[in-house]
Structure 1
Amino acid sequence: MIRFEHVSVSYDGGAPTLTDVDLTVPEGELCLLVGPSGVGKSTLLGTVSGLVPHFTGGTLHGRVTVAGRDTRTHKPRELADVVGTVGQDPRAHFVTDTVEDELAYGMESLGLPPETMRRRVEETLDLLGLAGLRDRPIATLSGGQQQRVAIGSVLTTHPKVLVLDEPTSALDPAAAEEVLAVLQRLVHDLGTTVLMAEHRLERVVQYADQVILLPGPGAAPVVGEPAEIMAVSPVHPPVVALGRLAGWSPLPLSVRDARRKAAPLRERLGPLAPDPLPAAAGDQAAVVRGLTVRHGRVPALDDVTLSVRAGETVALMGRNGAGKSTLLRTLVGMHAPSAGSVRLGGVDPKSTPPSKLLRHVGLVPQDPRDLLYADTVAAECEAADGDAGAPPGTCRALVAGLLPDVGDATHPRDLSEGQRLALALAVVLTARPPLILLDEPTRGLDYAAKSRLTEILRGLAADGHAIVLATHDVELAAELAHRVIVIADGEVVADGPTAEVVVSSPAFAPQVAKVLAPLPWLTVPQVREALGGTR
């Protein structure tokens, strides 16, 4: 279905982003594209839809054919009836204002009959759990809801090939499972070919028919069975890391496979216990009492009460649209409470001028580009110093620590997702706010970048910063958070130590907890440290 013949791509005469890609993706298979950030995964996906090089520029050597059509001679619009594409940023995908209109737009462009369009819209609303949102303006949806709409707008055209870049990155665990179940059905029942890049391998690798590994810039891809590739891949999910640590062969790809092998490991770990995170005993950095927030007539938060202490890291979890982002935005004064109160060190964020508020709280949004507006890294840093009243060079010193290889003249748009996140975090930290908020901070990050972010946030908590992060990444919560707060339909339904909350919820339990249950282990580093101590 998809054929790459000695494909290389380079931009502006630089080193090739892709080198000598020569492989075939068979019809009716789910093919997973993996590799560290910056190795060219998005570029490879773009060659299938024709976006590379027709839209992005650059030079493509070799040939890519999709259902017999050469993407060098067929522009993206000439491939639209064959290839459906969803990129990393769903907002860049939308061309209409409401959910139902967006689902219908692609079919209108292809000239399908109205009765066919109506039927397919209804099918897709049901498939992706969007029926309750059909009349909603897209701008009012959460990031995860927008992701489902973007995927749905492609599914309605019934393409032969689906190209997906990070399709579950903004989805809660349940929504991710729903989307992956839909993709499975398309592959197994309809023979759709799916080519997908995804960093959250713990969600998808067990469903793949084959895996394409891009090991590094300029290196030729490695193709094979999922277990075979995971054995050598520099990026792999926790269940594979646990299998490598325990010496299991073949390596498990799913929790079920790992549990079948885990009895001896559970026996070794039984007498041991993981070291608990030190409790935060600092002053209260944020106090929320009886908070209610409405978006028009829609209740977003209802009677929320919680507090966060200095040195404490809290993970906000819950399904898409539960109110997590609304809570973070209310903490920085972007929403006015309908009832209740918010205090940050005695300050009301809604009535505090932004120039003063940034010394109390800083928010890194879901898309760090919302915080970055200058043309260079140096200009961003100068603006951050000025806004915070910090000595010149303060922000640049923070950037040097987080991004040692990024130059002053680099444009923020040329940074990777992880680099943009680090730059936005440096901008926020310039004012040294006691409370740091992050909204989906691991979206688009590979495991190495996520590990670096975890160490940075641990260091900030150790320095006395209170950290609240809204996340669907259960592995991040297990690694980092002292507490987990679960929000459902705007209400707090659970609030307690991470180990207690995530283990009691099948949806939010990390892979290691599921494999080693009922033992209290959450992460591979915990297990590695314990086993190291027994040798």
Structure 2
Amino acid sequence: MIRFENVSVTYEGADEQHQPTLREVDLTVPEGELVLLVGPSGVGKSTLLGAVSGLVPHFTGGTLTGRVTVDGRDTRTHPPRELADLVGTVGQDPSAHFVTDTVEDELAYGMESLGLAPGVMRRRVEETLDLLGLAELRDRPIATLSGGQRQRVAIGSVLTPHPKVLVLDEPTSALDPSAAEDVLAVLQRLVHDLGTTVLLAEHRLERVVQYADQVLLLPDGVMGSPAEIMTVSAVHPPVVALGRLAGWDPLPLSVRDARRRAGGLKARLEGRVPAGPDLSARPASGKQDPGPGPGHGKGLDGGDRVGRSDGTGRSGGFNPFRRRRTEAPAPAAAPLALVDALGVRRGRVEALRRIDLTVTPGETIALMGRNGAGKSTLLSTLVGMIAPTSGTVRVAGRTPHTTTPRELIRQVGLVPQEPRDLLYADTVAAECAAADADAGAEPGTCRALVSELLPGVADGIHPRDLSEGQRLALALAVVLTGRPPLLLLDEPTRGLDYAAKARLVAHLRVLAADGHAIVLATHDVELAAELAHRVVIIADGEVVADGPTAEVVVSSPAFSPQVAKILAPQPWLTVEQVEEAL
């Protein structure tokens, strides 16, 4: 179905040596298989996917040598419009994908362009609405959707024309665990029942590796079965890391495989207790011990600018969580943020209601919940971008929405879901220089952070030419440069590979140890297990669970990390904890 013949892609100015982003890729993807692309951030996964759809080099520029054919069509002589009936593409940024204003119209647009009959279009729209859980959003303006909801609409819009090939770049990165499972189940049905060929790049391998027929490892260009590639890949999910630690052969790819072999490991861990977080460096707060978590690593720190964040709507459905609050004595240190009975209404949507939250110095809190639950809206109120409809919000003794941005950014920094909202310079070097100047930091501070978080990013490259993970690392460095007391992160690991995420976790641990408070909205359950002292679960705009990470995530099937599922009922959350105990 797809053939790469000695394909290399080089972008002018990509780095000082003008090295190819893809080098001499030679492979064949058979019809009706799901192929997973694996590799570090910036290694060329998006470029390879773009070469299949014809976007590379017709729209991205650069030089492509070799030959790419899809069902016999040469992508050099067939631009994307002549491949539209054959290849459906969803990029890393779903917002760049939309043409119409509402969900239902967007799902129908691709079929209208291909001239399908109205009856066929109506049937496929209804099927896709049900498949992706979008029925309740059918009449909603796309501009009012959360990032995760937009991602589902973007995926649905390429499913309705029934293409032979689907090209998906980070399709589950902005989805909650349940929505991600639904999307992956749809992809499996397309592959198994309809013979659709799927190429998928995804950093959250814990979600997808067990579903892949083959895995393509970049930059090596080696393709093989998931079990074969995971034995040699430096990028691998926690279940594989645990299998390597325990010496299991063959390595497990799913939680179910690992549970079947975990008896001996659980026996070795019997009676041991996971190491709790090192709280000695945190300011005394008087709060209840936030529970198990990893120790501190080494890294840099900081934060500065305020960016925009997508608003979220409300998602319906049964709420499986009981409301729980962690009772604690009055804190000795003044809270950095106080949210009391907060309500936010956005048009007809009640995005938040009766939210109570206290954030103390040195505390890391993970906000979790379904897409559209209100996580991004809560972060936006903390940074003053949205005014409360009811209740109060105080940050460092200030009311955010009435405080001038120049004053507020010294107290709170936000990295939004779309990192480009913070980036306006023409080069990485200029962006970093501006961040240093805005923060009053030593020249080179921001650039050092970029190099630490994601090595190999060239000074002269334009931010728009970076991969999603590289752009996120740059936006994080911009905000971290100013060291705000309160740091807000909206999906901070989207587009980051495991190594980059580990470096980010190390930096954030140091920030927390220095007394900075961190609130992150995330669907990354592994990140919450590694980093958060507390987890707050929001559903339909309300807090339904608030407590120590180990207590909240282990009791929730949807938000439990892989290690917790494998070693249950023992209280282990991460491979790091198990390794320390052994």
Interval of TM-score (by shorter of Structure 1 and Structure 2): over 0.9
Partner of 1:290: 341
Q: Is the 8 A contact 1:8 1:18 kept in 2?
A: yes
Match of residue 23 from structure 1 = 27
Give the counterpart letter for 1:258 in structure 2: A
Aligned partner of 1:163 in structure 2 is 167
For each residue in 1:119-163, what CA deviation from the matched residue of structure 2 results, as whole angstroms up to 9, or x when unmatched?
A: 111111111000111111111100000000000000000001101
Any stretches of 5+ residues in structure 1 without a counterpart? none
Matches for 1:421-440 after TM superposition, within 5 Å: 421-440=472-491
Tell me how far apart the structure 1 counterparts of residues 214 and 244 of structure 2 sit (CA, whole Å).
Answer: 20
The partner residue of 2:388 within 303, 313, 337 is 337
Residue 42 of structure 2 contacts residue 469 of structure 2 at CA under 8 Å; is this kept in 1?
no
Per the normalisation by structure 2, the TM-score is: 0.88
Give the distance between the partners of 1:157 and 1:314, measured in 2 at CA. 42
Distance in 1, Cα, partners of 2:457 & 2:76: 33
| More RCO (CA 8 Å, sep 6+) | 2
Distance 2:272 2:396 in 1: 40
> Is 1:235–2:222 an aligned residue pair?
no
Which secondary structure state, in structure 1, belongs to the residue aligned with residue 88 of structure 2? strand
The aligned counterpart of 1:370 is: 421
Deviation at 1:26, TM superposition (A): 1.1
Unaligned 5+ residue runs, structure 2? 286-332
Q: 1:142 aligns with which of 142, 146, 149?
A: 146
Aligned to 1:350: 401
Task: Determine which of 98, 108, 114 is the counterpart of 2:102.
Answer: 98
Aligned counterparts of 1:402 and 1:74: Cα–Cα separation in 2: 38
Tell me if 1:2 matches 2:13: no
Q: Which residue of 2 aligns with 1:486?
A: 537
- Asked if the contact 1:106/1:156 (under 8 Å) is kept, the reply is yes
Deviation string 1:144-193 (CA, Å, 9 cap, x unpaired) is 00000000000000001101111000000000000000001111111111
Change (3 A) 1:163 1:409: closer
Tell me: CA distance 1:399–1:43, structure 2 relative to 1, closer, same or farther (3 Å): closer
Partner of 2:320: none
Distance 2:376 2:364 in 1: 16
Alpha-carbon distance between aligned partners in 2 of 1:426 and 1:62, rounded to the nearest angstrom:
37
Pick from 62, 65, 68 the counterpart of residue 66 of structure 2. Answer: 62
The yes-or-no answer on 1:39 pairing with 2:59 is no
Deviations 1:369-411 (A, max 9, x none): 1011122334334433454455766645655655665555443
Instruction: State the one-letter code of the partner of 2:401.
Output: K
CA distance in 1, matches of 2:266, 2:195: 41
The structure 2 residue matched to 1:107, chosen from 93, 100, 111, is 111
Q: Residue 122 of structure 2 aligns to a residue in which SS?
A: helix
SS at match of 2:78: coil
Per the alignment, residue 123 of structure 1 pairs with: 127
- Post-superposition offset of 1:3: 1.4
Matches within 5 A, 1:434-473: 434-473=485-524
Separation in structure 2 between the aligned mates of residue 354 and residue 466 of structure 1, nearest angstrom: 19
In structure 2, distance between residues paired with 1:400 and 1:444: 17
In the alignment, the residues of structure 2 paired with residue 271 and residue 315 of structure 1 have an alpha-carbon distance, to the nearest angstrom, of 28
2:264 counterpart of 1:213: no
Q: Determine helix, strand or coil for the equivalent of 2:510.
A: helix
Distance 1:52 1:345, change over 3 A: same
Give the C-alpha shift of residue 286 in structure 1.
Answer: 0.7
1:20-71 Cα deviation digits (max 9, x unpaired): 2222111111111111112211111111111112111222222211111111
Is residue 57–residue 63 contact of structure 2 (8 Å, CA) maintained in 1?
A: yes
Q: Which residue of the partner structure matches residue 245 of structure 1?
A: 245
The equivalent of 2:565 in structure 1 is 514
Q: 1:91 is paired with a residue of what secondary structure?
A: helix
Which residue of the partner structure matches residue 302 of structure 1?
353
Secondary structure, in 3 states, of the residue corresponding to 1:148?
helix
Whole-angstrom distance in 2 between the partners of 1:486 and 1:56: 40
Query: Could you say what secondary structure the match of 2:104 adopts?
Result: helix
**1:299 partner SS:** strand
Q: Where does residue 137 of structure 2 map in the other structure?
A: 133
Change (3 A) 1:393 1:205: closer
CA deviation after TM superposition for structure 1 residue 424, in Å: 2.0
Q: Partner amino acid for 2:8? A: S
How high is the TM-score relative to the length of structure 1? 0.95
Which residue is 1:75 aligned to?
A: 79
Aligned in 2, Cα 1:309/1:525: closer, same or farther, shift over 3 Å?
same
Q: Which moved more, 1:40-49 or 1:464-473?
A: 40-49
Compute the displacement of 1:365 (Å).
0.7
In structure 2, the CA distance between the partners of 1:211 and 1:483, relative to structure 1 (3 Å rule), is same
Does the CA-based 8 Å contact 1:486-1:493 persist in structure 2?
A: yes
CA contact (8 A) 2:537 2:545 kept: yes
Structure 2 counterpart SS, 1:61: strand
CA–CA separation in structure 2 for the residues paired with 1:63 and 1:324: 45
2: CA distance, partners of 1:174 / 1:311: 31
Distance (Å, rounded) in 2 between the aligned partners of 1:8 and 1:117? 39
2: CA distance, partners of 1:248 / 1:322? 39
Query: Partners in 2 of 1:210 and 1:39 — Cα distance?
Result: 19
Aligned partners of 1:394, 1:27: CA distance in 2, in Å? 49
182-191 or 9-18: bigger deviation: 9-18
